[in-house]
Amino acid sequence: MEFFCLCFQAVKETVHPRQLDVQSLNHTAQELTKDSPSEQASPIREDMGQVNIKWENLLDTITDRKVGSLTWLSIVLDRMVESLTWLKLSWIE
């Protein structure tokens, strides 16, 4: 279990600072497009839309993997408890 916690902590420490970069990039794009003509602003908005979609997909994937790993770990721990209970009862008989 500690291994999973360390892995997800490493991912969090790597990804979380990038959230600030994405927010800064969005802010910069808004500033650039605020007073720009539509034909100049449109490609920037489209590119930022793609960046934001990819960022959200990354965050969703991380969350899905974390949930999947925790679910798997829970199943393994339940089976270990069942096995230990069975061993304990087997030794008593």
Contact 1, 73 (CB under 8 A): yes
Kindly state whether residue 52 falls inside one of the protein's structural domains: yes
| pLDDT of the residue at 10 | 79
Kindly state whether residue 15 falls inside one of the protein's structural domains: no
Per-residue pLDDT of 34-73, as tens digits, reads 989 999 999 999 999 999 999 999 999 988 888 887 788 8
Kindly state whether residue 47 falls inside one of the protein's structural domains: yes
C-alpha to C-alpha distances, 50 to 45, 69, 77, nearest whole angstrom: 9, 28, 40
Query: How many domains is the chain partitioned into structurally?
Result: 1
C-alpha to C-alpha distances, 21 to 2, 17, 24, 29, 59, nearest whole angstrom: 29, 7, 5, 12, 14
Residue 15's pLDDT band (cuts 50, 70, 90): confident
Kindly state whether residue 80 falls inside one of the protein's structural domains: yes
Per-residue pLDDT of 72-87, as tens digits, reads 888 888 899 988 888 8
Kindly state whether residue 78 falls inside one of the protein's structural domains: yes
Kindly state whether residue 70 falls inside one of the protein's structural domains: yes
Tell which wins on pLDDT, 41 or 14.
41
Q: Domain span at residue 90? A: 43-93
Looking at residues 10-27, what average pLDDT do you find? Answer: 89
Kindly state whether residue 22 falls inside one of the protein's structural domains: no
Kindly state whether residue 48 falls inside one of the protein's structural domains: yes
